[in-house]
Amino acid sequence: MKRNGVKLKLLFSRTILFVTSYYNHLRCFIPVIAELKRKGAKCVVAIPEDIVIGEEQIKKSARENNIKIIKMKTNPYTKKRSELSRGERLLTNNFYIYFYLKKQVEMTMHKIDPDLLVVGHDLNHPERYFVRYAKENNIPSLLIAHAISSDFYFKEYGLAPWWKPNIFIRPDQNSLKINTSHVLNGIYRLFLTNIMNHPLKKIICAYGGGETTKVAYWGSYQKKIWVKWGGDPNKMEVTGYPGYDVLFQKYKIFDDEIKKQMLNKLGIVNNNKIILFTTQSTVEERIQTLEERKKFTVDIVGETFKVDKVILIVKVHPKQEISEYDYLKGSNNKKVIIVQDFELHDLILISDLLITHTSTTAMDAILCNKPVITVNFKDTSEPYPYASSGAAIGVYQKRKLKNAVEGALYDEKVQKELVNNRSKFIDDHIYKFDGKSTKRVIDLIEQIILKCKNINN
C-alpha cells in the first residue's frame, strides 16, 4: 500500500504534455491521459496548426474526453498552409519553418513547463523539435508508438535512418518520379543532419526514439527491428498498445444487439457477408501514384464482387479525401458503403472479413478474431509479416483474390489455420491483448519521472 501511495503522490500535480499531429496518436493517448488525470496529473495536448491530420476528429475526441488542447502555430504567414503560394510553401517547408517552428516549440514548452513530454512518433518536424528541446533542457520524454513499424520501407525505398544512409533508386516500373523525390529528400536531409543542428540529427525515423528518454513498443518484434537499426535497447520497453484496451472492452461486450444497432447506422438491413476494405495513404506517403492507387482499389472491388452476397465497406484513411472514392458509386452503389469518420473498431467488429494492403487495421482485425487478407498485386514483398506469419492470407495476383475471399468466409480449414496462427502473432507483435497496456505505460511513466526526480535531487 505504501508503494502505491508513493506512486499516486508521484503523479499528483505533475504536468504531462502530449504532442500530436495525427488523430491516431490521440486515440493511443486517450486511455493514458484518462488514467493520468485520475491519479491527479495535469494533461495538455498540443497540436501543430496546419500540419495536424484529422483536426476535427481530435477536437471532437478532446471534447468527449475533457482533454485540454492548445494549438501551436507552425506557419509564419497569416494564411493557412493550403492557401500559400508555391514560393511561400517552398520557403515554409524548408529553412524558414525550421527556425520559426523551433521558436514556437520553445514558447510552448516554456508556457506549459511539463514534467514529461509524450509523442506518438519522431517523424514530423514539430515532434522532433519538442523532443530535442526536452533533451537539451533535461525534461524526460516518452515515445508511445501509435502504429506498428517495420524496416521494409527502409530497405525498399532507401528510407534508412539518415545517419545510416542507404539511398538508392528502386527499379520498379513507373517509379522514377517517386524515386527521384526520395533521393533528393534523402540528400537534403543528410545535408541538414551533417551541416546544420537540425532535429533529424541522431533521430531514428518514425519509431526508433532516437532522442526520447524511453520508447513504449507494441511488441518484441518492433523492439528487435529498432535494435537492429542501431537503437538503444536500454530505452526500449514492450508495453502493448494502450489504444487496444478500448478495443478489448468493446470486444468483450460485443453481441448481436450491439451489431444490429451498428448495422442500422450504416443502413445495412440484410444478412449478406460484410467485407471491410481499409485504404492507406500510399499516395500521400509517395509509395503509389494516384493512378496506381485507383487501379489497386478498382481491382479489389471488382474481384470482391465476384463473390455472391457480399457488402463492401470502404474505410477511407484519415489522410485522404473521401471524395477520391466517388468513382465507386456506380452500378454497385447499393453494395459499396464509403465511410471515413465511422469508428474503425466498430466497423471491424461487424465485419466478416478485412482486406487491406499493409495497414495496422489488419492487426486490429486479427485481435478481434476476424479473417484478414493482405493484398499486393505488384510483387510478393510484405512490409509487415501478417501473411508470412500465417495470421492472414496473402494475395499477390488479382485473379486469386476471389478464391481467397471465399476461403476466408466459408472454408473451415482455412479459418482454422488462421485461428491457430493468431496466438503467436499476438504474442510477438502486441505482447498481450488483456486490457492492461495502459497500466503498463503508466508504470513506465512513473519510472521515468521517479528516475528523473532522483537524479535532480
pLDDT in tens, 207-251: 455 688 999 999 999 888 877 766 788 889 999 999 899 899 999
Residues of the chain with pLDDT under 50: 1-8, 156-183, 186, 190, 192-207
**Domains identified in the chain, total number:** 2
My answer on whether 236 and 351 are in the same domain is no
What pTM does this model have? 0.78
Long-range Cβ pairs for the range 197-204 (8 Å, 24+): 198/98, 199/98, 199/125, 199/128, 199/129, 199/131, 199/132, 200/128, 200/162, 201/163, 202/163, 203/122, 203/128, 203/131, 203/161, 204/122, 204/161, 204/229, 204/230, 204/231
All three cell numbers of 448: 521515468
Q: What does the pLDDT read at residue 410?
A: 96
Find residue 143's DSSP bridge partners.
119, 215
Q: What does the pLDDT read at residue 61?
A: 86
My answer on whether 21 and 88 are in the same domain is yes
My answer on whether 108 and 217 are in the same domain is yes
Residue 230's contacts (CB-CB under 8 Å, 6 or more residues apart) are 161, 163, 164, 204, 208
For residue 2, give Cα distances in angstroms to 5, 7, 8: 5, 9, 10
Q: Which amino acid would we find at residue 27?
A: R
> Are 88 and 81 in contact, with CB atoms under 8 Å apart?
no
Q: What does the pLDDT read at residue 288?
A: 72
* CA pair distance 114, 432, nearest whole angstrom: 30
Question: Counting beta carbons within 10 angstroms of the beta carbon of residue 299, is it exposed (0 to 12), middle (13 to 18) or buried (19 or more)?
Answer: middle
Residue 229's contacts (CB-CB under 8 Å, 6 or more residues apart) are 151, 154, 160, 161, 164, 204, 208
> Are 354 and 273 in contact, with CB atoms under 8 Å apart?
no
Q: What does the pLDDT read at residue 84?
A: 67
Q: What does the pLDDT read at residue 166?
A: 32
Q: What does the pLDDT read at residue 196?
A: 46
My answer on whether 71 and 132 are in the same domain is yes
Closest CA to 330 of 348, 350, 349, 312: 312
- What are the helix (H) ranges across 19-150? 23-38, 55-64, 86-93, 95-112, 125-136
My answer on whether 328 and 366 are in the same domain is yes
All three cell numbers of 354: 478485412
> Are 340 and 346 in contact, with CB atoms under 8 Å apart?
no
Q: Which amino acid would we find at residue 31?
A: P
All three cell numbers of 15: 504536468
My answer on whether 304 and 187 are in the same domain is no
* CA pair distance 317, 359, nearest whole angstrom: 10
* CA pair distance 319, 53, nearest whole angstrom: 6
My answer on whether 206 and 59 are in the same domain is yes
My answer on whether 204 and 106 are in the same domain is yes
My answer on whether 226 and 255 are in the same domain is no
State the Cα torsion 381-205-319-357 to the nearest 10°: 10
Find residue 344's DSSP bridge partners.
none
Q: Which amino acid would we find at residue 385?
A: P
My answer on whether 233 and 281 are in the same domain is no
> Are 143 and 121 in contact, with CB atoms under 8 Å apart?
yes
Q: In which domain, by residue range, is 23 found?
A: 2-241+433-456
My answer on whether 163 and 275 are in the same domain is no
Q: What does the pLDDT read at residue 456?
A: 60
Question: Counting beta carbons within 10 angstroms of the beta carbon of residue 423, is it exposed (0 to 12), middle (13 to 18) or buried (19 or more)?
Answer: exposed
My answer on whether 155 and 89 are in the same domain is yes
pLDDT in tens, 293-326: 889 999 999 999 999 999 999 999 888 889 989 9
Q: Any idea what the CATH number is for the domain that residue 54 is in?
A: 3.40.50.2000
For residue 77, give Cα distances in angstroms to 54, 106, 107, 155, 220: 22, 19, 18, 38, 44
